[in-house]
Structure 1
Amino acid sequence: MALGFSPRDQRSRRLVAVIECALNQNARDAGAASYPALNKAILTLCMRYDVGIVQIPCPEMRFMGLARERPPGKSIREVLDTPAGCQCCLAISLELVATLRDYQNNNCRLLAILGGNPQSPGCAVHVQCETADPGRLAAPSGVLMRILQEELRKQGIDVPFKGMRDCNRDLLQRDLRWLEALFKNA
């Protein structure tokens, strides 16, 4: 028995980190919500395979507010990918990495980071495939995801990043199959 855990402790000790808007579509930019409330398919898989969820705060909301207030003519990505926006993403990343490290130090296993749609300024996940480091995120990835991966790797935490592309039913089905295979084999 692990120190500090009672024989009745039922935790699976497995978890994923999931972007806020997958768990709360109200966090999405106006016009970008794919569901009325949350992505039930992700939640259903986590429940079926007893995988806990750590929520990744929305960098766009944290930096610009829910309305994504910004200067006229500036995209969310242009505003988020500035020194101040990157500093906001770094603060989120450092807090999240500390939380994830604490889970690991207490016998929990981080299975993946679940990001967002391909166009998300903060949370898109585009993985490089043809490099010496095939898991590294490519430049079109969201600002937060790139910074988060860098901070996780500094801590020796190298987990897969996967975009849960709910903007397209076929892409989401592929992503869900990937996630289910991960859960089955973990």
Structure 2
Amino acid sequence: MEDEPRRVAYVAHCLMNQNAKVSEFAKCAGVFSPLVERLVKNGYELQQLPCPEMSHMGAVRWWASREQYDTPGYRRHCRNLARGVVDLATMHQDAGYDVVIVGLDGSPSSGVRLTSTKASWGGRPEGAVHGGSDRRPGMGVWMEELKFEFEERGLEFPRATGVAMDAQDFDLQKAMVELDEFLTEDKENAA
């Protein structure tokens, strides 16, 4: 067991605590267990990333698109949070850990491969239908700022993936197969 590589997964806050999500978006009470169980089974220690949306907008907030979060003030807030995360991730890397990031694809903040978009949203929230944003390839604002913080320090952004559990067509089995493939890449690269 001592020869096993040390691994740590930095996981989007809302995947470890669904109660932090915007009202009506939680898919389960508390932790998204299938994801956590899969990571632990594969030897990952877990670090919960901060929730920039909650710490910026509060616990009682409306859903928003990437365009609404893509402001200088929100980016500055995300960058401030990123400093502490990168400090800790660097300590893990220096101690020989393989570091990965697991975000929430489709999130305007925590998306890794997909983010939300709806440039027309604004004003009263009645016109914005729950789940009514579109998805497009790319990172959310928080993930971009986290990546920028790594890069500004001359560090490589860790391998990252996302789980698109907010998508209307979310398929748990498919998502776990994709996660397994991502984690298998790690084992193959470590060998």
Report the TM-score range of the alignment, normalised by the length of the smaller protein.
0.7 to 0.9
Give 1:165-180 correspondences, 5 Å limit.
165-167=164-166, 168-169=170-171, 171-180=174-183
- Aligned residue number for residue 37 of structure 1: 30
- Aligned residue number for residue 75 of structure 1: 64
Give 1:12-51 correspondences, 5 Å limit.
13-51=6-44
- Aligned residue number for residue 81 of structure 2: 92
- Aligned residue number for residue 159 of structure 1: 158
2:41 is equivalent to residue 57 of structure 1: no
- When normalised by structure 2's length, the TM-score is 0.74
Q: Would you say the 8 A contact 1:21–1:58 is kept in 2?
A: yes
- Aligned residue number for residue 150 of structure 1: 148
Post-superposition CA distance 1:34-68 (Å, at most 9, x none) = 22221111111122122111111011001001112
Q: Would you say the 8 A contact 1:79–1:85 is kept in 2?
A: no
The verdict on how the C-alpha distance between 1:88 and 1:184 changes in structure 2, with shifts beyond 3 A counting, is: same
Q: Would you say the 8 A contact 2:13–2:49 is kept in 1?
A: yes
Using the TM superposition, give the Cα deviation of residue 79 of structure 1 relative to its aligned residue in structure 2, in angstroms: 4.2
| Structure 2 Cα separation of the partners of residues 83 and 16 of structure 1 | 28
- Aligned residue number for residue 131 of structure 1: none
Q: How many residues align?
A: 163
| Structure 2 Cα separation of the partners of residues 23 and 176 of structure 1 | 16
| Structure 1 Cα separation of the partners of residues 177 and 5 of structure 2 | 25
* Range with bigger deviation, 57-66 or 12-21: 12-21
Using the TM superposition, give the Cα deviation of residue 76 of structure 1 relative to its aligned residue in structure 2, in angstroms: 5.3
The verdict on how the C-alpha distance between 1:47 and 1:10 changes in structure 2, with shifts beyond 3 A counting, is: farther
Calculate percent identity across the aligned residue pairs: 25
- Aligned residue number for residue 105 of structure 2: 117
Q: Would you say the 8 A contact 1:117–1:123 is kept in 2?
A: yes
Using the TM superposition, give the Cα deviation of residue 174 of structure 1 relative to its aligned residue in structure 2, in angstroms: 4.0
Q: Would you say the 8 A contact 1:126–1:141 is kept in 2?
A: yes
| Structure 2 Cα separation of the partners of residues 44 and 182 of structure 1 | 18
| Structure 1 Cα separation of the partners of residues 46 and 21 of structure 2 | 19
Post-superposition CA distance 1:123-148 (Å, at most 9, x none) = 11227xxxxxxxxxx87421000111
Using the TM superposition, give the Cα deviation of residue 158 of structure 1 relative to its aligned residue in structure 2, in angstroms: 2.9
Q: Letter of the 2:109 partner, please give it.
A: G
- Aligned residue number for residue 181 of structure 1: 184
| Structure 2 Cα separation of the partners of residues 24 and 10 of structure 1 | 32
